[in-house]
């Protein structure tokens, strides 16, 4: 083991450690390795108190451990141990035993001989059951059996009166015994990813429970006693078969997080409004047709997720959620929004995409804390002028609506970084668009635009400009001022020429001007030192300038469907440089 580790141990314990060296594989017996395994002892009693042998390749528990009867902490995680050795039963002082990530298939009934045990970690093994004698470990506070193959639990588990932490997640449990209700000191209970179909009524007796995870089971209903767990702060029920909640859920006075996503819930009980400490309510992907008016009583709510339901409207009382920061109501059937929505002055993100909304409240500009507004795939025809008052707005997605114009007030959004108004009916964009000095991504493809305003050149932070699939016939020379531009999409328009100023775009990596009427390329195109992808398909080119050979980073050049002549030498040189040329 090395002199620095056992030089002061009694003779019999030195011999025990020396023989342990021979049991460990390979270089584990070298001193530098053993020190990393934290072999320690208490100098006061000259007794080894802790031994850590993580991932040592052990396929059995060393019998030499008998030499350390006063061992208190033993860590054997990450080995290949598949049997629970009798050597443990001589370790009566053991308080912490970690056998996680091994190959254990069963626990012997003599486990109850470890009477001093406080923590037992058996996660990620092959256990299908464990003995009734587990209930004799009266001092046990921590028990982790997650990631095994348990399909039932002994009723004696209820005898673990001092248990505070129990993890049974990722097993094959179909039910939990009534005796669970006797675990009066239990604070953390994890039962996620099992096959549970219900809960015993005795679960309401877990008065100390703080965190309950039941996600991804097959639970169809909750007992009325559920509301008796009045210490509960977090409850995870995502991914079950719940159709309704008991009224008693409103009695969970300490509840802060309630996760109910991916169930079959059709309505929330009005009692939910009494959860005065709730700050996070996630009930997305259910079958909600309405929200109770009482939801407006959740004064501390910060996050409300109601996406992927069947909501046709939101209650006026939603405007009372003064502290709400995040609202996800996307993928519903909303056709209008209550005016009171504008009262949510703390709101930072608002997702309303994939609904049937036709208009926004005129005073929506009151949402002056809003940073992200997503209205993708609705039926909005016009934006209220007040939208320009959202002084903190950073991301605005208006794509796939029926917008015919953008209000000039949109140019007041000085913090706007991303604007997507693609797939609308826009014929113009405001000349003041150049005022959006923070803009990085401007996506206006699939509209009816006929021009790009000259002020576009003022967007010095712009990284992506997409005006593809429009009716634009002129590129303003000011485009050359976009010295941060990396992606430029001009495909499917009516361009006949590219301005010489294009060569000033030193950062440009991707340029698509396919499906236009371009007859020649400016020599300055060879100045695009960062260009990697150039798409010129379906134009009217009959030549390309030799300056294109200066594009040392070019990887892909698409020249299909043009009328090119006498370009063989240029193409050959490009291909020799590794450029993929498509003709």
- pLDDT at residue 404 in the model: 96
Contact of 182 with 206, CB cutoff 8 Å: no
- Judged against a pLDDT cut of 80, whether residue 441 lies above it is answered with yes
Rounded to 10 degrees, the C-alpha dihedral 175/177/181/186 comes to -70
Question: What is the token pair recorded at 199?
Answer: 């809960």
CB 294 within 8 A of CB 273: yes
The residues near 469 (Cβ < 8 Å, ≥ 6 apart) are 445, 446, 447, 491, 492, 493
What confidence tens digit (pLDDT) does each residue in 342-386 have? 999 999 999 999 999 999 999 999 999 999 999 999 999 999 999
Nearest to 304 by CA among 290, 285, 325: 325
Which pLDDT does position 66 carry in this prediction?
Answer: 82
pLDDT of residue 469: 98
Average pLDDT, the chain: 91
Domain boundaries, the chain: 196-333
pLDDT in tens, 499-522: 999 999 999 999 999 999 999 999
pLDDT the model gives residue 9 = 39
How does strand 188-190 pair with strand 165-167?
Answer: parallel
Query: What's the N-to-C CA distance of the chain in angstroms?
Result: 71
User: What pLDDT sits at residue 86?
Assistant: 80
Helices (H) and strands (E) in the chain, counts: 4, 25
Domain made up of 196-333: CATH architecture: Alpha-Beta Horseshoe (3.80)
Lowest mean pLDDT among 66-75, 238-247, 485-494, 556-565: 66-75
Single pTM value for the model: 0.88
Count CA atoms closer than 13 A to 211's CA, side-chain side. Answer: 9
Rounded to an integer, what distance in angstroms lies between the CA atom of residue 227 and that of residue 219? 16
H/E stretch holding 13 reads helix 11-23
- CB neighbours (10 Å) of residue 53? 25
**Residue 427: pLDDT above 80?**
yes
pLDDT of 29 over the 60 cut: no
The answer, yes or no, to whether residue 183 has pLDDT greater than 80, is yes
pLDDT above 90: residue 85 = no
CB 206, CB 189: distance < 8 Å: yes
> What is residue 477's three-state secondary structure?
helix
Q: pLDDT tens digits for 193-229? A: 999 999 999 999 999 999 999 999 999 999 999 999 9
Say what the alpha-carbon torsion angle 386, 388, 392, 394 is, to the nearest 10 degrees: 120
- For the beta carbon of residue 441, count every other beta carbon within 10 angstroms: 17
Q: Please answer whether residues 249 and 230 qualify as being in contact, where contact means their C-beta atoms are separated by less than 8 angstroms.
A: no
**d(C-alpha 202, C-alpha 158), whole Å:** 11
Q: What is the dihedral of CA 449, 451, 453, 457, to 10 degrees?
A: 100
For residue range 35-83, list pLDDT tens digits in order: 234 444 444 434 688 899 898 888 888 888 888 888 999 999 999 998 8
What's 575's DSSP letter? H
| Number of Cβ within a 10 Å radius of residue 159 | 18
What CA–CA distance (Å, rounded) separates 135 from 158? 7
Q: Residue 50 to residues 34, 37, 63, 95, 139: CA-CA distances in angstroms?
A: 13, 10, 16, 10, 19
Percent of the chain residues past pLDDT 70, beyond the cut: 92
Of 518, 572, 515, whose CA–CA distance to 548 is shortest?
572
Three-state DSSP class for residue 318? helix
Give the CA angle between residues 45, 49, 54 to the nearest 5°.
160
Given phi > 0 = left and psi -120 to 50 = alpha, else beta, which region is 497?
beta
Which pLDDT tens digit goes with each residue over 138-162? 999 999 999 999 999 999 999 999 9
Mean pLDDT of 112-138: 95
Instruction: Work out the percent of the chain whose per-residue pLDDT is above 90.
Output: 83
Cβ count within 10 A of residue 157: 22
pLDDT band at 536 (very low <50, low <70, confident <90, very high): very high
């Amino acid at each position: 083991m090395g002199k620095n580790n056992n030089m002061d141990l009694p003779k019999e314990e030195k011999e025990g450690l020396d023989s342990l060296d021979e049991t460990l594989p390979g270089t584990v017996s070298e001193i530098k390795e053993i020190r990393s395994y934290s072999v320690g002892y208490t100098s006061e009693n000259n007794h080894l108190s802790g031994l850590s042998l993580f991932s040592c390749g052990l396929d059995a528990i060393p019998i030499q451990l008998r030499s350390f009867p006063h061992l208190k902490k033993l860590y054997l995680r990450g080995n290949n141990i598949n049997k629970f050795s009798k050597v443990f039963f001589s370790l009566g002082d053991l308080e912490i035993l970690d056998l996680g990530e091994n190959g254990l298939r069963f626990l012997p009934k003599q486990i109850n001989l470890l009477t001093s045990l406080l923590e037992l970690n058996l996660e990620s093994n092959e256990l299908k059951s464990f003995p009734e004698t587990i209930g004799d470990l009266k001092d046990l506070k921590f028990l982790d059996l997650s990631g095994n193959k348990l399909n039932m639990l002994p009723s004696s588990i209820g005898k673990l009166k001092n248990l505070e932490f129990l993890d049974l997640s990722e097993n094959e449990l179909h039910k939990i015994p009534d005796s669970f209700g006797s675990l009066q000191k239990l604070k953390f209970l994890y039962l996620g990813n099992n096959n549970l179909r219900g809960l015993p009524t005795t679960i309401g007796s877990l008065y100390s429970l703080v965190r309950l995870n039941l996600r991804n089971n097959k639970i169809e209903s909750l007992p009325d006693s559920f509301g008796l767990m009045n210490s509960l702060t977090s409850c995870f029920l995502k991914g079950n078969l719940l159709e309704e909640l008991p009224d008693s859920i409103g009695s969970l006075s300490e509840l802060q997080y309630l996760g109910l996503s991916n169930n079959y819930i059709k309505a929330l009980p009005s009692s939910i409004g009494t959860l005065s400490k709730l700050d996070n309510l996630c009930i997305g992907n259910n079958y909600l047709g309405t929200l109770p008016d009482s939801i407006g009583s959740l004064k501390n709510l910060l996050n409300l997720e109601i996406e992927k339901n069947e909501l046709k409207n939101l209650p006026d009382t939603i405007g009372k959620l003064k502290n709400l920061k995040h609202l996800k109501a996307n993928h519903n059937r909303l056709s209008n929004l209550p005016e009171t929505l504008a009262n949510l002055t703390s709101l930072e993100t608002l997702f309303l995409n994939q609904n049937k909304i036709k208009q926004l409240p005129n005073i929506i500009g009151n949402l002056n804390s809003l940073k992200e507004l997503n209205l993708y795939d609705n039926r909005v025809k016009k934006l209220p002028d007040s939208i320009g008052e959202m002084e903190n707005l950073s991301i605005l997605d208006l794509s796939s609506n029926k917008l015919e114009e953008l209000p000039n007030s949109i140019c007041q959004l000085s913090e706007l970084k991303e604007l997507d108004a693609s797939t609308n009916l826009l014929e113009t964009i405001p000349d003041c668009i150049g005022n959006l000095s923070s803009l990085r991504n401007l996506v206006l493809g699939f509209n009816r635009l006929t021009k790009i305003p000259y002020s576009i050149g003022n967007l010095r932070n712009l990284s992506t400009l997409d005006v593809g699939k429009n009716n634009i016939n002129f590129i303003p020379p000011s485009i050359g001022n976009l010295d941060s531009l990396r992606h430029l999409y001009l495909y499917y328009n009516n361009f006949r020429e590219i301005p010489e100023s294009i060569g000033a775009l030193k950062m440009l990596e991707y340029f698509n001007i396919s499906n236009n009427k371009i007859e020649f390329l400016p020599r300055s195109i060879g100045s695009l030192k960062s260009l990697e992808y150039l798409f010129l398909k379906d134009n009217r080119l009959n030549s390309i300038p030799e300056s294109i050979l200066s594009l040392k980073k070019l990887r892909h050049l698409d020249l299909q469907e043009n009328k090119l002549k006498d370009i063989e030498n240029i193409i050959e040189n490009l291909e020799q440089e590794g450029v993929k040329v498509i003709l």
